[in-house]
């Protein structure tokens, strides 16, 4: 006998993600899923962003890494709720891990929950976590060809930050190449040229974040 | 290696259906994989072999078919087939695509036999 199923293999994850989103909605929390390669500046972005949103918006963070609590320790210095999720061998966060992370957080008075995904340009993009928006980071030292090489990270992004732009002169970086590649992949997401060192792009990023708070 | 997570999801899904509608012995699993899901069929099969070894699904054949991608332009509503590195709408030229198919793995059907009551 043949049983017709037609059901996504990701159905279980998507159902949990949907529940996460509902729970965050009820708590009035907007959730941003931050994705990029390792070392492109996700933690540093959060270290700069979270104090800049105070005092009007308080934030909490879930950090995903294979090992260590180093990122959570860095963000914990900001005196905000933070939970480290160690995925062990897992190359991405899934919705169930985020459910556990949310359960460990006190969401009262929180405006934004940032999820710092596992550093990886391929796997995280396939898993809905219950976020409201996705931010993709691309750092200048990674090279100007990464949008073309890893389009599935950038295609569903709601905002794209090109980080460490203070290094553009040093590395002979071709911004036109990035823009050209994005013109085939995602023209919806704003592209912000960002530097945590000089502060370039910070106002644009904060303004985009505030626009996400409905 | 998200193939391992996907294979593990598939295992749970097939076991659940075989129990709900049976008990049934699953002999064939038919999957549709989208080109945009970035699943390497060989890696998926390797993960699947590891997960289903010594399980009730050890004898089930896995059949994977690749399905076409489909997207809707958020600007002009045109439905088109994007490539993994090109989401330009052929009508209005914007790259603002909502993916409709191709970024998923679908469990299409199961071929089963009724288990003999012991």
Predicted confidence at residue B1, as pLDDT, reads 63
- A187 contacts on B by Cβ (under 8 Å): 94-96
Cβ–Cβ below 8 Å for B5 and A12 = no
Q: Which of A11, A90, A184 sits opposite B5 (nearest CB)?
A: A90
Q: What would the pLDDT profile of B4-52 be if each residue is shown by its tens digit?
A: 889 999 999 999 999 998 889 999 999 998 888 778 888 889 999 999 9
Query: Mapping DSSP to helix (H, G, I), strand (E, B) and coil, where does residue A162 land?
Result: strand
> Residues of chain B whose C-beta is under 8 A from some C-beta in A?
1-2, 4-6, 9-10, 12-13, 17, 21, 24, 31, 36-38, 74, 84-88, 94-97, 99, 103-114
Give the separation between CA B1 and CA A123, rounded to whole angstroms: 7
Determine which helix (DSSP H) or strand (DSSP E) holds B27, and give its type and residue range. strand B24-34
- A191 contacts on B by Cβ (under 8 Å): none
Q: Is residue B117 over pLDDT 70?
A: no
Predicted confidence at residue A66, as pLDDT, reads 86
Closest among A91, A161, A162, A158 to A131, alpha carbons compared: A158
Q: pTM score, two decimals? A: 0.91
Instruction: Give which of A6, A7, A9, A91 to mutate to test B binding, by max B Cβ within 10 Å.
Output: A9
Structural domains of chain B sorted by starting position, each given as residue range(s) with its CATH number in brackets: 2-69+102-112 (3.30.2320.50)
Q: How far is CA A158 from CA A135, A190, B8, in A?
A: 6, 7, 29
Residue ranges of chain A whose pLDDT lies below 70: 214
Predicted confidence at residue A82, as pLDDT, reads 95
Domain spans of chain A, in order of start: 11-207
Q: What is the CATH number of domain A11-207?
A: 3.40.50.300
Q: How far is CA B108 from CA A56, B4, B12, in A?
A: 49, 19, 15
């Amino acid at each position: 006998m043949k049983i017709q199923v037609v059901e996504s293999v990701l159905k279980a994850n998507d159902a949990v993600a949907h529940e996460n989103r509902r729970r965050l909605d009820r708590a009035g929390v907007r959730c941003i899923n931050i994705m990029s390669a390792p070392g492109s500046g996700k933690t540093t972005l959060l270290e700069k962003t979270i104090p800049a949103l105070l005092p009007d918006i308080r934030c909490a963070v879930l950090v995903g890494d294979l090992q260590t609590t180093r990122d959570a320790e860095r963000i914990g210095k900001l005196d905000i709720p933070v939970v480290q999720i160690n995925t062990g061998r897992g190359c991405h966060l899934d919705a169930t891990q985020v459910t556990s992370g949310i359960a460990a957080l006190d969401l009262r008075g929180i405006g934004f929950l940032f999820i710092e995904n596992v550093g990886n340009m391929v796997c995280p993009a396939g898993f809905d976590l219950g976020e409201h928006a996705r931010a993709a980071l691309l750092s200048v030292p990674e090279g100007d060809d990464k949008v073309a090489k890893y389009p599935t990270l950038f295609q569903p992004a709601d905002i794209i930050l090109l980080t460490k732009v203070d290094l553009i002169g040093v590395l002979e970086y071709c911004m036109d190449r990035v823009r050209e590649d994005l013109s085939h992949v995602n023209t919806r997401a704003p592209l912000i040229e960002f530097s945590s060192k000089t502060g370039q792009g910070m106002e644009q990023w904060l303004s985009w974040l505030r626009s996400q708070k409905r | 290696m998200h193939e391992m997570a996907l294979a593990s999801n598939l295992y749970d899904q097939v076991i659940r259906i075989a129990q709900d509608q049976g008990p049934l012995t699953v002999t064939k699993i038919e999957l549709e994989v989208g080109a945009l899901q970035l699943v390497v069929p060989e890696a998926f099969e390797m993960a699947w072999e590891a997960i289903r070894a010594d399980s009730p699904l050890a004898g089930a054949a896995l059949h994977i078919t690749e399905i076409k991608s489909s997207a809707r332009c958020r600007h002009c509503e045109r439905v088109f087939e994007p490539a993994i590195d090109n989401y330009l709408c052929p009508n209005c030229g914007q790259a603002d695509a909502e993916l409709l198919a191709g970024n998923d793995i679908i469990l299409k059907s199961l071929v089963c036999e009724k288990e003999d009551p012991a």
